[in-house]
Chains A and B, each alone.
Chain A
Amino acid sequence: MIEPFLIRAIIAGIGVAIITGAIGCFVVWRRMAYFGDSLAHSALLGVALGLVLGISTNLGTMIICSVFAILLIWLQQKKVLATDTLLGILAHAALSIGMVTLSLLERSVDLHSYLFGDILAVTNHEIYLIIFGGIFVLIFLFFNWSSFVLTTINEKLAKSEGLNTLFNQLLIMLLMTIVVAVSFRIVGLLLITSMLIIPAATARQVANSPEVMAIVSSILGIFAVMLGIYLSLHFDTPSGPSIVVASVVIFISILFFTFLRKN
């Protein structure tokens, strides 16, 4: 008989792997890795906001991450500073304010589980969030797929064909915030970017079209989560880092095999 906590972990893991795999392709194509990382850092302020206001920490995260994304696009349009400088300022400001706020709270907070995740302690409430958030993200991706891909290939070309590229860009960022908000409890804020990037980068080695890359990326993510959970249980290692280790192992193996096949 499989333990209920393990079933919850597997369902949550599969859900997170599917959405991070798909949206992760855009992170790779659009070179948004640093944005993803910054978004995750700012999520800690969201956690603090959630605890202060007494609302769900996922909701707090979603609010803060969305504000973060909109603020970033606005500052980018104003051309105040280079994007990576802006990201660094915003992310670390949010992270630090979040940490300070958490330390001022009267109650003890398991900071470690926020930073590195704890898939084995995932609750039913969090699973519902992953499923609803995930379906929402996938539906948006599905219906805007061609527009998103064309905008990613060349913004001017997309614009000339009547697409609102700024809106598309914002939409991709907001979808990313949802993904981060519903899945950061699984691998943690510090490691969520790896779930976005590693499966997508692995899929890039074998895929021959954008669609195939997204699907393969999700499937590889599922493998990584399964392997990670197994490693975590078997060796009693932290679950978030174990999942990342598993996905790195998959990445290196596939890289190695494609290298061998080419030569």
Chain B
Amino acid sequence: MPSLIEAKGLDVNKQGKEILKDVSISVNKNDFITIIGPNGAGKSVLLECLMGTFSPDRGEINKKDNILIGYIPQNFNPDNSMPISVERFLMLRKKFTGEELKIISDETNILSILSKKLSNLSGGELQRVLLARSLLGNPELLILDEPAQNLDIKNQLNFYNLLNEIYQKRDISILMVSHDLHMVMASTKQVICLYHHICCSGEPQAVAKDPEFITLFGNDMAKMMSVYQHTHDHSHDENLND
């Protein structure tokens, strides 16, 4: 089966610094990939390359024809100087029916805040609105850049649960940059650890044991990941026995 997006040998240099070096990645149907890595590792640049909003110095990117990608940018802070409602924001440059809006608003639980001002939303509400906008038009792939960065623990959990629900319900692939790996352990299928180059990748538990991962994130993170992975495995086993 052809990939949704495939990048081969991406190199990016900015002001003499090597941001990405020989990075290859492919996203297939129904993938749920989380990219982790320290700050400044080139995660956002990689996403931008894949979306085509940044041209790499070297390498090639192939996308499935006419693929629609939903995107949530990092650090989205609407300015208070522009009065705009959630509904108007969703409609900007998007064409959809009232039916579609209602279904997606229901799915992302924003029906009650459609008439609220964008700049008055709480962090959790804002991320759900962005998620709703990224789902308009029924994309095949969602690309999320640290979507829960500014949320407290409770809202982080809620957001990732919602994302997981959408992933299960829809025929959709997800590529996400996140530092909250312990939160997405249950849903993410593949972890890519990026530090200018791809250090390691694979299933979460395999990555947690990789020496390069431990060097980058330390033993504590690795332990935390395996703990979460363990509980996940456990419930998984029970399901099998049923």
Interface positions of A (Cβ within 8 A of B): 25, 28-29, 31, 146-147, 149-150, 152-154, 156-157, 159-161, 163, 204, 207-210, 212-213
Q: Are B51 and A160 in touch, CB under 8 angstroms? A: yes
CB within 8 A of B73: which of A28, A154, A213?
Answer: A154
State in angstroms the CA–CA spacing of A209 and B85 once bound together.
7
Q: Are A29 and B81 in touch, CB under 8 angstroms? A: yes
B-chain residues with CB within 8 Å of residue A161 when the two chains form the complex = 71, 93
Task: Count residues of B near A (Cβ-Cβ below 8 Å).
Answer: 21
Chain A CB within 8 A of B200 CB: no
* Residue ID in chain B nearest A159 by CB atoms: B53
Q: Given that A146-B93, A160-B53 are known contacts, is A152 also in contact with B82, CB under 8 Å in the complex?
A: yes
State in angstroms the CA–CA spacing of A150 and B93 once bound together.
8
Distance in angstroms from B27 CB to nearest chain A CB is 15
Within 8 A of A (CB), among B108-139: 117-118
Q: Are B83 and A209 in touch, CB under 8 angstroms? A: yes
Q: Are B69 and A210 in touch, CB under 8 angstroms? A: no
Within 8 A of A (CB), among B39-93: 51, 53, 69, 71, 73-74, 76, 78-79, 81-85, 88-89, 92-93
Chain B interface main SS type: loop
A-chain residues with CB within 8 Å of residue B92 when the two chains form the complex = 146, 149-150, 153
A-chain residues with CB within 8 Å of residue B93 when the two chains form the complex = 146-147, 150, 161, 163
State in angstroms the CA–CA spacing of A31 and B79 once bound together.
10
Q: Are B71 and A209 in touch, CB under 8 angstroms? A: no
State in angstroms the CA–CA spacing of A154 and B73 once bound together.
9
Q: A25-B82, A204-B83, A209-B83 are in contact. List 5 more A-B contacts (CB 8 A).
A: A149-B92, A160-B69, A208-B117, A209-B85, A213-B83
Q: Are A160 and B73 in touch, CB under 8 angstroms? A: yes
Within 8 A of A (CB), among B141-179: 143
25 contacts between A and B (CB under 8 A): A29-B82, A31-B81, A146-B92, A149-B84, A149-B92, A152-B82, A153-B84, A154-B76, A154-B78, A156-B53, A157-B73, A157-B76, A160-B53, A160-B69, A160-B71, A161-B71, A208-B85, A208-B117, A209-B83, A209-B84, A209-B88, A210-B82, A210-B83, A210-B84, A213-B82
* Residue ID in chain B nearest A153 by CB atoms: B78
A-chain residues with CB within 8 Å of residue B117 when the two chains form the complex = 208
State in angstroms the CA–CA spacing of A146 and B93 once bound together.
6
A-chain residues with CB within 8 Å of residue B143 when the two chains form the complex = 160
B-chain residues with CB within 8 Å of residue A163 when the two chains form the complex = 93
State in angstroms the CA–CA spacing of A193 and B51 once bound together.
38
B-chain residues with CB within 8 Å of residue A152 when the two chains form the complex = 82
State in angstroms the CA–CA spacing of A50 and B92 once bound together.
41
By CB atoms of chain B within 10 A, which of A25, A159, A160 has the most? A160
State in angstroms the CA–CA spacing of A159 and B69 once bound together.
12
CB within 8 A of A157: which of B71, B81, B82, B118?
Answer: B71
A-chain residues with CB within 8 Å of residue B51 when the two chains form the complex = 160
B-chain residues with CB within 8 Å of residue A212 when the two chains form the complex = 83
* Residue ID in chain B nearest A211 by CB atoms: B88
* Residue ID in chain A nearest B76 by CB atoms: A154
State in angstroms the CA–CA spacing of A208 and B143 once bound together.
31
State in angstroms the CA–CA spacing of A229 and B163 once bound together.
59
Question: Which 10 pairs across A and B sit closest by C-beta, in order of nearness?
Answer: A156-B73, A160-B71, A159-B53, A29-B82, A146-B93, A150-B92, A207-B83, A29-B81, A146-B92, A28-B81
* Residue ID in chain A nearest B51 by CB atoms: A160
Q: Are A156 and B83 in touch, CB under 8 angstroms? A: no
Distance in angstroms from A33 CB to nearest chain B CB is 11
State in angstroms the CA–CA spacing of A146 and B88 once bound together.
10
